[in-house]
Amino acid sequence: MKNSSITKKIIVDTATHKGIDVVLLKFPFDNELANIARQLPDAKWSNSNRAWVTPYSVKTLHQLKNLFEPVCEIDASLLKQKVRAYISNPKNNVLDAEMLDKIEKYKQWLQSKRYSQSTIGTYTEALKVFLKFFNDKNIAEISNDDIIKFNNEYILKNKLSSSFQNQIVNAIKLFFRTVENKTITIESIHRPKPEHPLPNVLSKEEIKKILQAHTNIKHKTMLSLIYACGLRRSELLNLRAEHIDSNRGLVIIKKAKGKKDRIAPISDKIISMLREYYKAYKPSYWLFEGQNKGEQYTAESLQSVLKQALTKTKITKPVTLHWLRHSYATHLLESGTDLRYIQELLGHKSSRTTEIYTHVSKKSIQKIKSPFDDL
């Protein structure tokens, strides 16, 4: 600022506005500063941000500095913090050509082994994060000590989940075994101690409120089908009309987790709902399609449907779509369904996975009498 007697001040920050990275200019109402802001490319006032916004670019930042510096103080501390955080995050480092080539070979190997697209995406992204952390080191020089360092200085420091740490371990294990010919001791890779969280379960009353919240038959049917058949989100989105066997009262779930097919019983009540939905929307390929014919309904839109239902019912719990599946299994157990059948219905490979629902079922727990009552 050239004139020290000037007390005007603007705060410069960054944000995402309507899906676009923007620079935010915050200052008390001032005609002079507002007129200067209008000179920036595509600048406009944003009511939601209570600030002037302009598309983010290095050129814009230089222009902003040249325009405002002569007339006011520029506080860019928030902007600098975000830039420093971006630079220090290994996710944002640039991999060299050799690393990119090896990641591509790794991806091709996963594809040749017919790993699912979801697993391929998860493993390659996890591997990229790991390799970016050691961007200044030759891959052949990476050792088990480096993996411990990564766990401590990236995963633990950023409070990332043990499941993410396990994904990194799985990705590294396969990468060094297949692409790098086992140049580190794979068996010595540190895995986190397994967590054993209880599944989140809603009461039948809460489930009923959620499923009745929507008047839109499509939204109501999607949520109802997840709970009624214990489906995963992807399983619902991958359904097609021919997967509903109304004569036998079954839904056929194709290539679910682990590429396994399975069947689940479907009630007459759900079949009637599906028929009403089908007449109204007439899907052409997927059972539940987006706005365009033949376009698969997105996971984000489905999550939004649940969020809207929660808002309408005023349920403040952090409910996810998977809670409906957990609730289905728990309610089956409480109604007397054998655990082995529940395992088959959910598509669990191991009965130990299904047994976790015995820890949240109220059927037996509520019958236990506390010794406190005998005092």
Q: Which residues are catalytic?
A: 232, 257, 322, 325, 348, 357
CB 203 within 8 Å of CB 211: no
Closest among 83, 63, 85 to 74, alpha carbons compared: 63
Check if the beta carbon of residue 301 is closer than 8 Å to that of residue 290.
yes
Which helix (H) or strand (E) segment holds residue 34: the answer is helix 31-37
Q: Which residues face 50 on adjacent strands?
A: none
**Measured distance CA(328)–CA(230) in Å, rounded:** 6
36, 47, 120, 155, 354 from 166: Cα distances, Å:
51, 43, 15, 11, 21
367, burial (CB in 10 Å: exposed 0-12, middle 13-18, buried 19+): exposed
80: Cβ–Cβ under 8 A, 6 or more apart, which residues? none
Q: Which residue has the tokens 């021919």?
A: 242
Exposed, middle or buried, 342 (CB in 10 Å: 0-12/13-18/19+)? buried
Q: Residue 57 to residues 9, 21, 46, 117: CA-CA distances in angstroms?
A: 22, 9, 18, 34
What's the CA gap between 36 and 25, in Å, rounded? 11
Phi, psi of 351 (to 5 degrees): -65, -20
Residue with tokens 């489905």: 302
